[in-house]
Amino acid sequence: MVGLEIEGGKPLRGEIIISGAKNAALPLLCLGLMTSDKLVLKNVPKLADTVSMEGLLRHHGVQVDREGETVIMTGGASQFDAPYDLVRKMRASVLVLGPLLARYGEARVSLPGGCAIGTRPVDLHIRAMQALGAVVELADGYIQARVTHRLSGGRVVFPMVSVGATENALMAAALAKGPSELVNAAREPEIVNLANCLNAMGAKIIGQGSGNIKIEGVDDLQGTSHEVIPDRIEAGTFAIAAVMTGGDLTLHRTFGRNLDALLMVLKKTGARITETDDTIRIVAEGRPIATDITTDPFPGFPTDLQAQFMAMMCVAEGSSRISETIFENRFMHVSELLRMGADIQVDGGVAMVRGQRSLSPAPVMATDLRASVSLVLAALTIKGVSQISRIYHLDRGYSRLEEKLGNCGAILRRIKAL
């Protein structure tokens, strides 16, 4: 098992170019199922998850070619079954459901199975498809969905905000017959990026980025060329790393306004933040001051930055209350941070963190994508050598992490068999 060895205790100083957003690229890639024309996606990060999604699309019959960070897709799908062995690797595979139903009238998608951060059901995805006229059955561990002629526009009300279910509903409604309305839709920038690409392909969508999205279904979608937005979670991860290590980082190719919630909190911890349209500079002013957070759907504090923020609070001045409201089990990083000497008490969805002047090196294990990067951040603050195992989780969501951090003074290297 490949691990990561980190010699910490040095401030991160330098510049990082932020890659395309994993969570924008994954639904955008599914649009390759919705047209036979050439669809060109630029700034697609090369990650384990995007490579998995490209593999799934090829399985469906889409011609997928990659030239660096550009992915070219043509041909559309010729088979509509997403098997367990492909879907279990990545929950986002469920995003082929809406596109397949909308364009081909049928889909058989394996249920994703659980993952480290919770059961993560797909009931909201299924209810959205049913609201658009699909007949959906669950059998043999699969979602079996079909529609006699064509999806028909309808009102989809989400009882709770769901990024993925909003994306599936948006893609399905784009080709349904007649008007649709998504109520209590997710407002993430990745959904705006997806809707804008659909509109460039001929869809008629308004209200993306608000909780109420209206779609006028069209008969077909054409090809286009579209750019994946920068990864706000990668940018936020590095911003937190700069503060934790007492450093000074300039992040390029960012959309600051997509990180307002984090930047506001970082200013409360004492960091100095300056922004231009597409750069953010973070300068630490001494040890971070402990600050409370509660995760919320966008534009609130992102759950995908909770683990990283907790790592920072472990070395902050004072105590912090961290409330995780999106997932029922997103504190998997706590036990590993405790091994590094952190002082954290968990009660249900709330963690109380008492900041220490420093943590201590210890071998730790990554459990999920964001938990694994929180351990990297913690190790960067520790004088001495820390080792993190199962870092394949990292490769799912961070491209060239060692190179980006290494260019800013971090000392980290991959090692065999931990």
Residues lying near ligand EPZ in the complex (CB under 6 A)? 22-23, 26, 91-92, 118, 120-125, 160, 162-165, 303-304, 326-327, 369-370, 397
140 Rama class: left (phi>0) / alpha (psi -120 to 50) / beta: left
Of 287 and 396, CB closest to ligand EPZ: 396
**Measured from the CB atom, is 139 or 417 closer to ligand EPZ?**
139
Nearest to ligand EPZ of 118, 179 (CB atom): 118
Q: Which residues pair with 283 in a beta bridge?
A: 248, 272
Residues 6+ apart with CB under 8 A from 416: 2, 3
Give the distance between the most distant pair of CA atoms in the chain.
64
Q: Please tell me the distance from the alpha carbon of residue 167 to that of residue 195, in angstroms, as a whole number.
A: 9
Rounded to a whole number of angstroms, the minimum distance from the CB of residue 164 to ligand EPZ is 3
Q: Are 266 and 243 in contact, with CB atoms under 8 Å apart?
A: yes
**115 is known as an active-site residue:** yes
For the bound state, the minimum distance from the C-beta of residue 295 to ligand EPZ, rounded and expressed in Å, comes to: 9
Shortest Cβ distance from residue 316 to ligand EPZ (Å)? 23
DSSP letters for 80-103 = -EE-HHHHTT-GGGGGGHHHHHHH
Minimum distance of ligand EPZ from residue 304's CB (angstroms) = 5
- CB of residue 113 vs ligand EPZ: minimum separation in angstroms? 13
Distance CA 60, CA 87 (A): 12
Q: What is the CA radius of gyration of the chain?
A: 21
Round to the nearest angstrom and report the end-to-end CA distance of the chain.
6
Q: Which is nearer to ligand EPZ, 163 or 412 (CB)?
A: 163
**Strand spans (E) along 366-409:** 384-389
**Could you tell me the smallest distance in angstroms from the CB atom of residue 384 to ligand EPZ?**
29
**Which residue is closest to ligand EPZ by CB?**
164
User: Which residue, 131 or 326, has its beta carbon nearer to ligand EPZ?
Assistant: 326
**Spatial distance between the Cα atoms of 9 and 383, rounded to a whole number of angstroms:** 4
Is residue 250 within 8 A of residue 15, CB to CB? The reply is yes
Closest to ligand EPZ by CB, 287 vs 370, is 370
Contact predicate 320/297, CB 8 Å: no
Q: Which of these, 264, 336, 349, 346, lies nearest to 303 by C-alpha position? A: 349
Tokens of residue 178, six digits: 């007649």
Active-site residue (options: 115, 197, 314, 408): 115
Q: How far apart are CA 49 and CA 351, in angstroms?
A: 29
Which are the catalytic amino acids?
Answer: 115
